[in-house]
Amino acid sequence: MNTQHFREEALKHISILKKDFEAIKEMFPITTEDIEKMTSSEESLRLLDQIAYRHIKLQDTLGKLIRSYLRDKGENVEELSTIDLINLMEKRGHSINENLWLRMRSLRNTLTYDYPETREQIAQALNELYKLIPRLEGLLKEVEK
């Protein structure tokens, strides 16, 4: 698969995430109490699951996109780890960096665990992910060139 394919797939994930967040926009910033209410409703819980799933898919796709993009630019990326790819992107002047990637991974982990003691962290993760979407859209514009 080529860079354009991965870019389109990432755009699809972002589009769905934006629609999911639009459905709960009146809650922003999301609180622990909002998460309590959402986890007690099957419909809202499905929405939270969808957001977590799309975030996972988005980050996986971004990893593939970055590898493909760098390969297209003539870089030998076959043996590089994802963090090495991220660092190479940053060196090339792109807006992604190791801190952002690791933060996305942390958000991913937080959103996949639903225990009463993690609900405050889930609320914070949702608020942060919502704020990250424009930055991720910017990254996709960078690799469009």
Q: According to the model, what pLDDT value does residue 145 have?
A: 65
Q: According to the model, what pLDDT value does residue 115 have?
A: 66
Q: Which two tokens stand for residue 71?
A: 């390969």
What type of residue is 122? I
Residue 116 has pLDDT above 90, yes or no: no
For the chain, give every domain's residue range: 3-142
For residue 113, report the phi and psi dihedrals to the nearest 5 degrees: -115, 125
Q: According to the model, what pLDDT value does residue 118 have?
A: 84
Residues of the chain with pLDDT > 70, as a percent, come to 97
Note the Cα 137 to chain centre separation in Å. Answer: 10
Provide mean pLDDT across the span 102-115. Answer: 88
Q: According to the model, what pLDDT value does residue 1 have?
A: 81
pLDDT in tens, 37-59: 998 999 999 999 999 999 999 99
pLDDT in tens, 121-132: 999 999 999 999
Closest by CA position to 114, among listed 126, 127, 104, 102: 126
Q: According to the model, what pLDDT value does residue 54 have?
A: 97
Residue 111 has pLDDT above 70, yes or no: yes
Q: According to the model, what pLDDT value does residue 117 have?
A: 77
User: Which long-range contacts link 37-40 to residues 24+ away (Cβ below 8 Å)?
Assistant: 39/114, 39/119
